[in-house]
Structure 1
Amino acid sequence: MTTTRKKHPYVAASILTLLFCLLAATAHAAGFKRLDIPADANGPAMKAMVWTPCAEPAEDVPFGPYILHGRRDCPTVGEKLPLVVISHGHTGSFLGHHDLAETLANAGFVVAAINHPGDSFADPSRSGDMSAFIERPTDIKRLIGYMLSAAPDAAKIDPQRIGFFGFSRGGYTGLVLAGGVPDFLHADVPCPDPRPSVCDEVERGDVPTQPLPADPRIKAYVIADPFNVFPAASDLNNVTAPIQVWASQYGGDGVLPHSAPALARTLPRKPDYHFVPDSAHFAFLAPCAEAMKEKMREICVDEHGFDRVAFHKAFDASVLAFFQANLR
């Protein structure tokens, strides 16, 4: 498996996990459905997408600008299924990693992703505020609580086998849930132009003074190109769960190229670390349909000869293998 320039070093190591993924996919398709999570005392209503194992054959289904591969509203197959929750990046979407969700569901996982209120493509109203960073971990805790109690498939989920995938700000979200204590005042994060209000809030010292909520229900984490506001080793002392970290070569969208490598070196438990040559930040988003490439070139079109389709086959298989190994 190669890009148009050269063979990436992680591809050969992923052949066995890719074969495992393909064999697992023969057993199920990915069923998917939309869910609305009601508001409660901890936050507003949230929109979610859920993927589950399905016995029917998959088909391509247009969904907004995306093409999903699975079956809409397919009955869920299996019992005591592991759950993986997904946190998107800055103004992202619950569909931004749909290919990974489909891979996991094909292999017998329940996968749930939300649009973070105020920091999503559908609602970016607070994406530049500190409140978006404060509330993200609670959003995921509420998602897990809903999936284990009120969701249609709650009885089929094993509450002892919960994993997390986060990209960019979603990576920050996962590190907080794993026990990390963000240090916004000393983080190596540039302020973009135009300047968002969060930069002024940090300058004034208007940052959280109490630890943000962790979630011990989550047993394993995959973090892709994280927004790193954990500059000191002491910020991550409590992060002891198994973690897989992915780093792009060039970064982007506020994530500096050295952010993920620095994080990997700082974690108290050595992570399963992957550096992706020739990639930029948005390479971790699902490959885009042709029509979407025309409208959203910034997030869809890769430079440096990077082959996103080939990369995601190896990436999805490696993430699946990590969760299979750590959510036994």
Structure 2
Amino acid sequence: MSRRLLFSLYLFFICLALCFPAVAAPTLQPGFRTLGIWNPDTSVRMDLAVWYPARRSPSRVDYGDWVFSASRGAAPVEGQHPLVVLSHDSAGSRFSLHALASQLARNGFVVVAPTHAHDNVDSMDTLFTAPQVTRRARQINLALDIALSHPDVAPLIDPQRIGGLGVGPGGTAALLIAGARLDSTVWPLYCAGKDEDADPYCTPWARQRMNVFAAAPDLSASYRDRRVRAASAVAPSYAMFFTPTSLSRIRIPLQLLRAEKNRLYTLQHAERLLGSLPQPP
């Protein structure tokens, strides 16, 4: 992730920290820990990475594909801090956005990042289906539930200053958490006249799955999480499942970012969403 993008995201979320007591930024370091939650009643496992402001100097943290610097297990800076929940792109994990998470922790934020089941580096079986985004939205809800009830993490969080950021389908989930709803009315016309080789959504395999997506029961259900006070959608996907009406329920500050240099840019729909938002993000 580029320094320019990191800076842009940081500026957006700083609005959550306007009342944060002034602390000299150079004294803060990214503390780090992981949480693994298993619910035997629902057979749901949630793996979370947590960054937070600390003072101990960081050291190397190695998770195979992701290597970064953080103060694992360091004592946190006392007080309540604004929280950002991160939703990674497909083929990612809870560690994917470690550079952004570390930068936010150095500036006084707590960051919680889940690994999304069935849409991560080890499994992408929900690609081009409704659960790819609706399940993510529910998992963001669950990540907040866990963070706000965990005896070690909850005391660090100011529940009045919570933001959500997602990349790719995570960006789409961030829109749902912010109040948007899915609407399939545009999808039947989306691929008309398009070269299937030019748009990944319009290949025969993807179209078959997308048709099932459009017919999903309760597609327009609300996933709004009122604990989230600001949202950022980075290179979001599935704009054909949103309309001005279904986006009109977003009433919180929203940041919309595109990533035109990404090789999967054809999957990203920031411009289409920009044109459909009733209010400018």
* TM, length-normalised to structure 1: 0.69
Higher relative contact order (CA 8 A, sep 6+): 1
SS in 1 for 2:182: coil
- Which position in structure 1 is the counterpart of 2:254? 243
Q: Check 1:138–1:231 CA distance in 2 against 1; reply closer, same or farther (3 A cut).
A: closer
- Which position in structure 2 is the counterpart of 1:291? none
SS in 1 for 2:232: strand
- 2 CA distance for matches of 1:261 and 1:42? 39
- Which position in structure 2 is the counterpart of 1:62? 62
Q: For structure 1, list consecutive stretches of 5 or more residues without a partner in the other structure.
A: 272-328
- Which position in structure 2 is the counterpart of 1:261? 271
Mapping of residues 126-165 of structure 1, within 5 Å: 126-150=126-150, 152-165=152-165
SS in 2 for 1:140: helix
Aligned AA (2:278): P
Q: Check 1:240–1:32 CA distance in 2 against 1; reply closer, same or farther (3 A cut).
A: same
- Which position in structure 2 is the counterpart of 1:227? 237
- Which position in structure 2 is the counterpart of 1:213? 223
Q: Check 1:153–1:87 CA distance in 2 against 1; reply closer, same or farther (3 A cut).
A: same
Note if contact 2:129-2:213 (Cα within 8 Å) is conserved in structure 1.
no
Note if contact 1:228-1:263 (Cα within 8 Å) is conserved in structure 2.
no
Aligned AA (1:224): V
SS in 2 for 1:208: coil
- Which position in structure 2 is the counterpart of 1:325? none
SS in 2 for 1:263: helix
- 2 CA distance for matches of 1:163 and 1:223? 11
Note if contact 1:240-1:269 (Cα within 8 Å) is conserved in structure 2.
no
Q: For structure 2, list consecutive stretches of 5 or more residues without a partner in the other structure.
A: 15-22, 191-198
- Which position in structure 1 is the counterpart of 2:175? 175
- 2 CA distance for matches of 1:72 and 1:194? 46
Note if contact 1:29-1:106 (Cα within 8 Å) is conserved in structure 2.
yes
User: Residue deviations 1:2-39, cap 9 Å, x none?
Assistant: x9xxxx9x79x97x96xx9xx95412110111111233
User: Residue deviations 1:231-258, cap 9 Å, x none?
Assistant: 421111110111111112255547446x
| CA displacement at 1:160 relative to structure 2 | 0.6
Aligned AA (2:27): A
- Taking only the aligned residue pairs, the percentage that are identical comes to 27
Q: Count residues with an aligned counterpart.
A: 256
